[in-house]
Amino acid sequence: EPPKAQLLAYDKDPSARAPPRLAFCILQFAGLAGVVETVCTLEAGREPSKAVVSWDKIHGVHALASPDDCFEAEAIAKADAAVQKLLKERYGVTDLDLVCCDPWSIHASPVDVRAIQCFLYLKTWVGIALALLWTLDTRSFTGNALIDRWGQVGVYSAVAVADSRCGLMVRGHVARRMVHGHPLDPLDTAEIRLAAAICRAYAASEGVEGEIRFNVISLQARRRGWHNWSFRLGFNYREGVVLHDVRYASRAVMHRMSLVEMAVPYADPREPYVRKCAFDVGDYGLGYCTFPLTLGCDCLGHIHYFDATLSNSKGEPVTLPKAICMHEEDTGLLYKHVDFRTGHPESRRGRRLVVSHIATVVNYEYAFYCAPCGRLRCTTRALLDPVDPCEHTHTRNLPPPHTHTGEDALAPDHGTLVGPDVNAQHHQHMFMARLDPAVDDEEGGRGLVVKELDVETMPWDGLGNPYGNGFRTVETALTSVHQAQRCIAPEKGRVWKFVNPKVINPVTHTPVAYKLVPAAHPPLLALPGSIICKKGHFATRQLWVTPHNDRQSWPAGDYVFGAKDCTGLAMWTREDAPLEGADPVVWYSFGVTHIVRPEDFPIMPVEVCGFVVKPAGFFTRNPCLDLPADKNAASVDNHSGGANGGACCGSAANS
């Protein structure tokens, strides 16, 4: 994306020349233990040497696992002779079509190369508890299949592969189209091919030989509107859906809003589960894991679908149909009142506009629902695959290193038995949302103040609280980065407000604001000092606030795959920087601690978590009073022969 200042300037004056249309690319090729970050312009007719704006080598990092990486890992694991031999000798398995190899990033990896671990299981009710490491050597594009027998790692064979990891991301998605269309349109297929060609040509001029792989990110950024609300919808390989410039009747509410990281730590401290803690946003990318939605099943009602254009490992554009669903849905009764003197009723049904996509990350489905209008609601629904060797693995009849001394196999310490010898391990799903509020601030929220609001009981006081029933709210401005590292407090009714001190509500005589209403959930449960706690630093508290910085997008770091430390929030918050006038960005961590039930097997019902950002003195009255007195004509009374009934919304009574 372009720098925030450029985007704000362009939004203020769309007639001005848009920023140049650029692409930010992440490349990997043989001979480099790291990645190349490059920015290139997509103006037509430029020579590759002049189209490349920057070309920077980043050493000691690993790019995320693309879909091609995952498919290659499974194919090579199943083709490895040592794996086939072990499957036959230990389990009597010779039909490899029955074998599934779920590719996982490796937490606390015992190897220093870019690697994927595969958990193998059969397409039956019983999973094979076998961990396999598949390593991708990015320096030579060769790999080693490693079999981990509960902690004993040995190299069995070397198989030639092509590492399929490169990223090409839109740096300037507000830039001018080369041929036609709105300046905020996504990259088209021609631009994707152009960017890939520029990178290949420039790499050749730098003496790079051999194959280069790409993953191309395209953002859809066309403005949408609904019932006084408008927003710009984006989509990329890493975050999935992104909401930009959310407004009500032209009043700014949120500059940008998205889900930027996840961590899924498991409770079992034994091998190989100690190496299971996927950071699904940074390790795989939610956009990459998005699959087409189905009308009438995933999305109900009158639907508007959006396609998404990403790329494969060759830099070729790939269009994912029906990646995003947008529709209006009924939310139940919004308000109702009956004048008990006259019997006159007034009621309105609630409605909201929902933008959603579903990401399949190996064994989980994550359904993300954003309601950008009214209350800004973000809801995540986690669903589990019917066969999950990572959750459902044997507790008995396994090699000794797998069983804790003194542990009762019928009552496992770190999970729940959901079937004969099948232990479903407890775990957490920790999400992080990045919120860039802009409440009535056309400078993108630069002047906002984040405040913490608690409800407290008043002490006994013969004058101020003589009957002991008094309570009040206490607001505290969070004026520095360290002060703004906060935890939830449900017993205090704690919320966090985004306040604009320059705009006063004429009714309350207080500054306009929106408030973040958190959910009640524990933070990361791993011990301080553990690798999980270091890498998942963002989940140790629920709220963080930092000054805006265009380079700070990923709370666990730019390159999470294979990392052992947090290079995001942990680094950004070392200094106690002031927040006043610093354009505060809010990072909110939320999640689910999944203590597994037998009812979650063999396929888990949806588990819901999320948060709400809603007005707190932004309006002078209920903004829903303008809703029409509509009545659902399809509803019938079964006891009156299918009649639709009388007036309920006041229209007939008023007439």
Torsion of CA 637, 639, 640, 644, to 10 degrees: 0
Q: How far apart are the first and last CA of the chain?
A: 54
Burial class from Cβ neighbours inside 10 Å (0-12, 13-18, 19+) for residue 398 reads middle
Could you give the CA distance from residue 598 to residue 579 in angstroms, rounded to a whole number?
47
Question: Which among 37, 47, 48, 39 is positioned nearest to 20, based on CA atoms?
Answer: 39
Candidate list 202, 273, 288, 364, residue with the active-site label:
364
Query: Is residue 364 among the annotated active site residues?
Result: yes
> Tokens standing for 180?
């036609």
* 19 neighbors 221 (Cβ within 8 angstroms): no
CB 573 within 8 A of CB 481: yes
Nearest 10 degrees: Cα torsion 281, 520, 540, 151:
-70
Tokens of 631: 């009545």
**Is cis: bond before 605, omega within 30 of 0?**
no
**What are the phi and psi torsion angles at 193 (to 5°)?**
-65, -40
- Identity of residue 539: A
| Token pair 């999950």 in the structure block, residue | 388
Selecting among 68, 280, 283, 440, the annotated active-site residue is 280
Q: Are 547 and 491 in contact (CB under 8 A)?
A: no
Burial 8-24 (b: 16+ CB within 10 A, else e): bebbeeeeeebbebbbb
Q: What is the DSSP string of 299-311?
A: B-SS-EEEEEEEE
Total count of residues recorded for the chain: 655
Looking at residue 643, what DSSP letter applies?
Answer: B
Structure tokens at 43: 């103006």
Query: In this structure, which long-range contacts are made by residues 571-578, counting pairs with CB atoms below 8 Å and at least 24 apart in sequence?
Result: 572/481, 572/546, 573/481, 573/482, 573/485, 573/544, 573/546, 575/481, 576/480, 576/481, 576/482, 576/483, 577/480, 577/481, 577/546, 577/547, 578/479, 578/480, 578/481, 578/547
∠ at Cα 165 (266, 1), nearest 5°? 90
Which residues 6+ apart lie within 8 Å of 207 measured at CB?
A: none
**Surface-to-core class of residue 523, CB atoms within 10 Å of its CB (0-12 exposed, 13-18 middle, 19+ buried):** buried
Would you name the residues annotated as active-site residues? 280, 364
